[in-house]
Structure 1
């Protein structure tokens, strides 16, 4: 485990899976904590857990739940959490620069022809005339923290439209949801299942698609501590390949729709039990089906997108200019998409 404590890591923030077969961990029954969020994009973790793929890989998994990317990065770097999937953030990049975190794969992606992340506005903003992204000029945009994926998406949209946005950090996804529902912020972008849930409830309006502004965006990555990447290679490969099995099930049933109806229904119920545990299955199913985005097969990584994100962080002075792709990514685990 990393020698960095959670407190020390917080201080720092102030500043190829070519085979489909499971690689077993060297220590059967190895206990690991996996970071998760109650989003459909984390479905592969839940599928791998419920269908025994982690167990078959010799891993005893416990989930640590988070509400934003940066706290997850802190927990990974400090060793409190072993592995996770979430967006690249300024915090994650800075921790990689300090030698305590590494990206080891890709996950959620924008793909042409598949529903992706939506651009939302509050009802108040929509009624005031913000009916398309170009009309967001001078408006407020919700983010969790500076350097989050929400910050990146908002900046790319603003640059493409030639407008300015006022970014409002609210720390947690739940707080951003509350703010856009109440009209305290004007705009936001989020995965389609959550966007559909809010829009169907009449709480927000959908005015655009993130994919039109950031095509082939590598939305989330798989990452771990530098210690795990360097010293626990068998365990790390076992985790990745179990996760890839969960991804294959998810893509087949909910994205490519190449399975039978029974498998599709089973996957929807499984995912809903984690993402929407308090909602009737009929409501939860509609949101999950409406928001199934591609998750990269074999946890492959879109290097081009990662490089674009790195350049954006550097241009905004959110991370050091000396940081390279190799600083962030451990290529021994990674299949490259492009």
Structure 2
């Protein structure tokens, strides 16, 4: 007897709908992703056929950090991305190359969020709270990254100079993890599912929460090229419609836990193709589920958080002083708050 998975059925059904409407073929798009659970909505949307329902055929393009993704979108090599604001993204927006069109990962009061971590060596040397981080080596991917922003917000609230943190750029998340575990850096901040795996090893210790230092942090955003916003609005709307269905499934499976065990297991299998793929599925499953943070329904955007981040970038002279919200964000696609 021929068996067909739900995933295959969803894609087949979407293709049937397209055929019935007389659509000639799906429109190919490239979507940038990082190997992080927070990028799951795009993966789910592809796996469940939500992009196909919108007449889109997705190719995922992997990145190791947020800033290169922004450059790829500006150049037209990638069509859509979902990651943290960076100096590069803002500078490209000022040049009229990219636009933020929605919100994604969000720090919310009811959900455990990003953790502040220190190495075993630093912990044993007396770094027990974020207030002890002055003079320590703090890992970031690149200057102007979300990790850079979080580090300075911690310094601001703890009352020591930003310059008292020795920021160590390591270009990619795996390199930061390796450096923290080996004690080459003292501290880092990261999403809870990654933090949980690191602290479990006994080589890394949790000393605080990012939410204690940044109110309502819009951790990641959805963005595309300014050309798509100006000249291909229908494509942007289709992408956001499919992505939003993936977001709903992600929250149901991992945050609100309203999805059935059978369906959430299927979703984990989809994600595993791109996240923790170097582990067997049974080992990756708990890591994928652990510490999930809410992703904004329908890609709603926390504009006040984006404004705060923009002002920080300006204060550090990481972006042009004239950088504006008007050039950075297009609020016409999603609800804002």
Same fold (TM over 0.5): yes
Task: Give the CA RMSD over aligned residues.
Answer: 1.4
Aligned partner of 1:9 in structure 2 is: none
Q: Is the 8 A contact 1:94 1:319 kept in 2?
A: yes
Aligned partner of 1:4 in structure 2 is: none
Deviations 1:4-47 (A, max 9, x none): xxxxxxxxxxxxxxxxxxxx9x9851111100011000000000
Aligned partner of 2:17 in structure 1 is: none
1:32 and 1:230 map into 2 onto residues whose CA distance is 17
Q: Does 1:59 align with 2:56?
A: yes
Q: In the TM superposition, what are the counterparts of 1:159-178 in structure 2 within 5 Å? A: 159-163=156-160, 164-178=164-178
Q: Give the drift of 1:143.
A: 0.7
Q: Is the 8 A contact 1:193 1:290 kept in 2?
A: yes
1:28 and 1:330 map into 2 onto residues whose CA distance is 29
Q: Is the 8 A contact 1:87 1:220 kept in 2?
A: yes
Q: Is the 8 A contact 1:111 1:216 kept in 2?
A: yes
Q: Does 1:38 align with 2:48?
A: no
Q: Runs of 4+ in structure 1 displaced over 4 angstroms?
A: none
Q: In the TM superposition, what are the counterparts of 1:202-221 in structure 2 within 5 Å? A: 202-221=202-221
Aligned partner of 1:93 in structure 2 is: 90
Aligned partner of 2:223 in structure 1 is: 223
Length-normalised TM-score, structure 2: 0.90
Q: In the TM superposition, what are the counterparts of 1:1-338 in structure 2 within 5 Å? A: 28-163=25-160, 164-336=164-336, 338=337
CA spacing shift, 1:334–1:321, aligned 2, 3 Å: farther
Q: Give the drift of 1:260.
A: 2.1
2:176 and 2:257 map into 1 onto residues whose CA distance is 32
1:330 and 1:139 map into 2 onto residues whose CA distance is 38
Q: Is the 8 A contact 1:112 1:215 kept in 2?
A: no
SS of structure 2 residue aligned to 1:108: coil
- Give ranges in structure 1 of 5+ residues lacking alignment: 1-23
1:207 and 1:273 map into 2 onto residues whose CA distance is 32
Q: What is the total number of aligned residue pairs between the two structures?
A: 313
Deviations 1:249-291 (A, max 9, x none): 1111211112222222222232233211121333322222222
CA radius of gyration, larger in: 2
SS of structure 2 residue aligned to 1:174: helix
- Give ranges in structure 2 of 5+ residues lacking alignment: 1-20
